[in-house]
């Protein structure tokens, strides 16, 4: 971690921030679902693990339900299993592979074999996952968590009506570096907090997809500093191109 980012993080009390977030979750549920469980898609990474851990602290483990959603074979599914075991929460494993295949096949049939580009194929599973989460949630009058973080949101690394959806969003204003600090403050095992961020749907990490590191991204977001002008331009280009994801849907007004 570079000195600029390290100095920024050192100035903030992430144990207090974690506690403030726990109170916020508790208050939100008191107003929006006093007896409802939090329904969380569990990937085994820092975001979903941290959200689940915060919800356990806020609501109690009996009101947190984890949903593991592999698309067929998922090589790191055992990590997700260890997360729900570590937290002691109820959970279900729901394989979305057949649903994803059915959507692709139906579109191919209805549109006479369209050309599916990589982006199309990558966005179908997250949307199926969110559909699954809401279906599970409605069976128990639950509330679905949004696990996106500030770093991903800044560069549009989310799928509209997929992982960008949800009923409440504990991490929206926290960067990847900050979430790791929250995880440490909560005592979450390193294997979850430090797990290399990846979408779980391809063989690429998030940073492979970006062309820059989370450290570079977080440093720019939190401090405005970026020593590499080319990287700065790459980050800001993605940010500008994806601003529509962060804004409310435009409405025609009479």
- Whole-number pLDDT of residue 199: 60
Backbone CA torsion sign across 161, 166, 170, 176: negative
Q: Kindly report whether the global pTM for this prediction surpasses the value 0.85.
A: yes
- Whole-number pLDDT of residue 200: 57
Ranges of the chain whose pLDDT falls below 50? none
- Digit-coded pLDDT (tens) for 66-96: 999 999 988 889 999 999 999 999 999 999 9
Domains of the chain: 12-204 (3.40.50.620)
- Whole-number pLDDT of residue 201: 56
- Whole-number pLDDT of residue 128: 97
- Whole-number pLDDT of residue 202: 60
- Whole-number pLDDT of residue 203: 66
Assigned token pair, 112: 């006479």
């Amino acid at each position: 971690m570079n000195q600029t980012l390290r100095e920024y993080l050192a100035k903030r009390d992430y144990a207090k921030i974690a506690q403030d977030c726990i109170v916020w979750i508790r208050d939100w549920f008191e107003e929006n679902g006093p007896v409802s469980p939090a329904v969380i898609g569990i990937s085994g990474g820092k975001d979903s693990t941290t959200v689940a851990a915060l919800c356990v602290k806020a609501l109690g483990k009996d009101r947190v339900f984890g949903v593991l959603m592999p698309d067929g074979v998922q090589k790191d599914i055992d990590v997700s299993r260890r997360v729900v075991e570590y937290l002691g929460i109820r959970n279900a494993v729901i394989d979305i592979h057949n649903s994803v295949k059915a959507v692709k096949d139906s579109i191919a049939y209805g549109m006479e074999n369209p050309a599916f580009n990589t982006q199309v194929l990558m966005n179908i599973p997250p949307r199926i996952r969110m559909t699954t989460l809401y279906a599970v949630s409605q069976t128990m009058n639950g509330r679905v968590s949004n696990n996106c973080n500030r770093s991903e949101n800044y560069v549009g690394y989310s799928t509209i009506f997929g992982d960008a959806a949800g009923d409440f969003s504990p991490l929206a204003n926290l960067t990847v570096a900050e979430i790791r600090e929250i995880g440490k403050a909560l005592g979450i095992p390193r294997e979850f907090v430090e797990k290399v961020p990846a979408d779980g749907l391809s063989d690429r990490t998030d940073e492979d997809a970006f062309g820059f590191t989370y450290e570079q991204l977080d440093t720019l977001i939190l401090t405005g500093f970026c020593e590499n002008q080319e990287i700065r331009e790459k980050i800001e280009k993605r940010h500008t191109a994806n601003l529509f994801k962060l804004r409310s849907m435009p409405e025609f007004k009479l």
